Structure 1
Amino acid sequence: MRERAHGGDPAVRSRERGSALIDLGRPADALVDLRSAIAHDPGDAHAHCLIALAHVKLDQPREALEAARAGAALDPEDAWPQRLMAIALGKLGKKRLARTAALEACRLDPEEPMAHIVLSGALQEARDEAGALAAAHHAVELDPGSGDAQHQVGLVLLAHERLAEAEAAFHAALELNPENSHALNNLALVHLQMQRRGEALDELETAARIDPRSKAVRQNLLLIGGARMKRRAAVVLGGIGVLALPSGQGNATVGALALLVIAAVLEFLRWRSLQALDVPTRTLVHDDARARRFNPTRWEWKWLLQLRPWWWLLIREGAKRMPAWLVLGVNLAGLALAAVGRNGGWVIIMALGLPFSAWRFHREWRRKHPPKGSWKPRDSA
């Protein structure tokens, strides 16, 4: 891509600052400088592509697509905006258009390994296993020292459960770049499917230290120890136990108490599985507000568990905007009033809401009073 101005130009300085911030893992901050560069020089195709790249890293595919199209319009012979368009279109689920853009990038620059890596990803999304694997292997041939190319080979093999070959590809990627947190995360998924949970946990902890911002790594850390499933089982069993308690029948009461004991044991086991993580990783998991939203990378059938009725969404969004202490106070006051008034229905409702209120209050308290020795991600590498 051609340079438009000498290094002393304000547009170039802003663009270079933005590029450096992206490299440091601060795409949101980079957008400020990159938009300044566009304001000084609207015809700077490189700056438009950097804006697209920043939006890709922020998981904003629509904005990324718009910026990449602007870059392609300004420099139709450059492959970079086409690659960015392919990535953004893939994230938007437009598989055919993503493949077309990736093929165009390979046509414009057939010797660029990254173009074939992007093409491999687009073909994989289109369920063309042979084409995706061939494109990834071609990227390796073009640049045998590219860890990204080896990683893409592993991704294609992992998607089709060729685990031994995928493991070898991820190891090859890590030999070339030991700091590749994506390769570590995906190698952990391979080992998890091979029932090698200890190795998977070590790899995820290492990946979390390398890239603390990775949502996939944090969520996989929760899954690897079974913490999430223990929490769900505890909530279900505890809820059934609370509902059965007011029946007043002897057998039902004993059964309800047994369910509550089992729920408490599961919650204790969940706590133990999280305590098995080292302090920095455990702190990341605890402090991550998004980890509670299940967004799996391979278990698509569980997406159905995210469905909620409209009234639940209204309650949840309203509770999220209230201070944690106020939510807990309202919950406790409602429970007390319902108990005094002997209103069994409201007692059950308030009791079911109490774990959420207490958990949210505990999370906010932990944020303000982090444990000794905890580690927080820095803004720069």
Structure 2
Amino acid sequence: MDSIGRARTLIDLGRHEQAREELAKALAEDPASVEAWCLLAQCEQKTGDVQAMRYAASQALASNPDSEWAHRLQALALHKLKRHEEAIASAREATRLAPHQWQQYVVLVTTLIPLLDKYYTEATEAADRAVELAPLQAEAHLTRGVLNGAKGNLPEAERNYREALRLDPENAAARNNLATIELRGNNLEAATAGFAAALAENPRLQVARDNIDLVCRRVLRGARLASQTVFIGVGFVTVTSEGGHAFPEAIAALLSILWLVMVIRLVTRLAKPVRAHLRGLIRNDRRYTPTVLSTMVFIAAALTAAWMPVYLLTAGILATVAYFVTDRLRRARTA
């Protein structure tokens, strides 16, 4: 097997550094090899080095301006660099050079989506053409799903993602996108199971990891907001009650129990891997420490409200101030 053949195999295996070494050998022997430059661009795409991907694609085009593969790779690189009109031009050239290859239309749709208001009809026609040319390719259905999602047609997007998964049950992108729709429908268990499955299928799929973090942040914020509501409710009853301690005590206990039930129900709706991730964030990620601590303080203040209303007010004020100060400091450090 020659260097290019070995590079192809290494890219498929995810061994990108070794693939680069093989491609360097191939390019040393033939600096004008379009295939080697395109494979290098593909390799850089998988590692996320968009500038290097763009350079490799441009070198391939310098060797052969009529390479549809090089135009396709350049379109994707320009798209990631947010040079949308240039990306569209490259994708259109790829479809002109190879009008019967479905991959060109998938890339064209991808480049058109950021300017969908302007190119709505062209994007729709390109997505339909991709599916027409390759009805058994999951990627074609996935692309049409992304387009329908961008148009706001979520039921149709869901059907597209399910068809993509029927054709390719290990398609991580389709599973992640379907889970996003489930999340919008408040189907938390299905959504988090989908995100976890997508990440298991493709550990490099950053969008699935980001979605899991998003769900965990929502859970923590929901618990904090609910604890603040309990605190305010108990504080109001304590201040306005004229019936002694018994009534505020009962309200404090009831609302705290309801808060605990809500939190337990919310957490148990998460898929098991996401629950484990949430526990890891609470233990190890200092960005979430203010949220967790303020939640505990608000609940503790609510539970002691009926007995110590002055401490209730003081603890609540201190918790609020501490939360916003630490949160502002955290944002300043990560800006």
Report what 2:309 is aligned to. Answer: none
Provide the rounded CA distance (Å) in 1 between the counterparts of 2:7 and 2:279.
30
Letter in 2 for 1:212: P
Cα displacement (A) at 1:276:
4.6
State the 1:223 CA deviation.
Answer: 2.1
| Distance 1:214-1:284 versus aligned 2 partners, 3 A rule | farther
What code does the residue aligned with 1:151 have? L
Percent of pairs with identical residues: 32
TM-score between both structures, scaled by the size of structure 1: 0.60
Paired position in structure 2 for 1:185: 176
More helix by share: 2
Pick aligned residue for 2:77 from 65, 83, 88: 88
The whole-number CA distance in structure 1 between the counterparts of 2:268 and 2:23 is 41
Distance in 2 between residues matched to 1:73 and 1:36, nearest whole Å: 19
Question: Structure 1 residue 221 and structure 2 residue 215: aligned?
Answer: no
Within the candidate set 146, 151, 166, 1:175 is matched to 166
Question: What residue ranges of structure 1 are gaps of 5+ in the alignment?
Answer: 1-6, 8-12, 239-250, 252-257, 294-347, 357-381
Aligned to 1:16: 5
* 1:158-307 superposed matches below 5 A: 158-224=149-215, 227-231=216-220, 273=267, 276-279=270-273, 282=276, 286=280
Residues 8-33 of structure 1 deviation map (CA, whole Å, 9 limit, x = unaligned): xxxxx222222112212333442222
Q: How has the CA–CA distance of structure 1 residues 28 and 190 changed in structure 2, closer, same or farther, with 3 Å as cutoff?
A: farther
Is 1:208–1:281's contact at 8 Å kept on the other side of the alignment?
no
Using structure 2 for the length normalisation, give the TM-score. 0.67
- Alpha-carbon distance, 1:274 to partner: 9.1
Give the deviation of 1:231 after TM superposition: 4.7
CA contact (8 A) 1:28 1:58 kept: no
Alignment of 1:302-381 (within 5 A): none
Shift of 1:152: 0.3
Deviation at 1:131, TM superposition (A): 1.6
CA distance in 2, matches of 1:18, 1:232: 47
Q: Name the aligned partner's letter for residue 198 of structure 2.
A: A
Q: For residues 44-193 of structure 1, what are the structure 2 equivalents within 5 Å?
A: 44-127=33-116, 128-193=119-184
> Take 2:60 and 2:278, find their aligned partners in 1: how far apart are those partners?
37
Q: Cα deviations across residues 261-310 of structure 1 (Å, max 9, x unaligned)? A: x9xx99x959x8499543599469959xxx999xxxxxxxxxxxxxxxxx
Alpha-carbon distance in 1 for matches of 2:279, 2:197: 14
Gaps of 5+ in 2: 228-238, 240-251, 288-321, 331-335
Give me the whole-angstrom Cα distance separating, in 2, the residues matched to 1:29 and 1:284: 36
CA contact (8 A) 1:181 1:207 kept: yes
Change (3 A) 1:280 1:26: farther
- What secondary structure sits across from 1:144 in the alignment? coil
Q: Which amino acid aligns with 1:149?
A: A
Partner of 1:319: none
The Cα of 1:233 is off from its aligned counterpart by: 7.7
Q: What is residue 317 of structure 2 aligned with on the other side? A: none
Against the structure 1 CA distance between its residues 33 and 286, is the aligned structure 2 distance closer, same or farther, given a 3 Å change threshold?
Answer: farther
Relative to structure 1, the CA distance from residue 278 to residue 18 in structure 2 (aligned partners, 3 Å threshold; closer, same or farther) is farther
Q: Is the 8 A contact 1:83 1:101 kept in 2?
A: yes
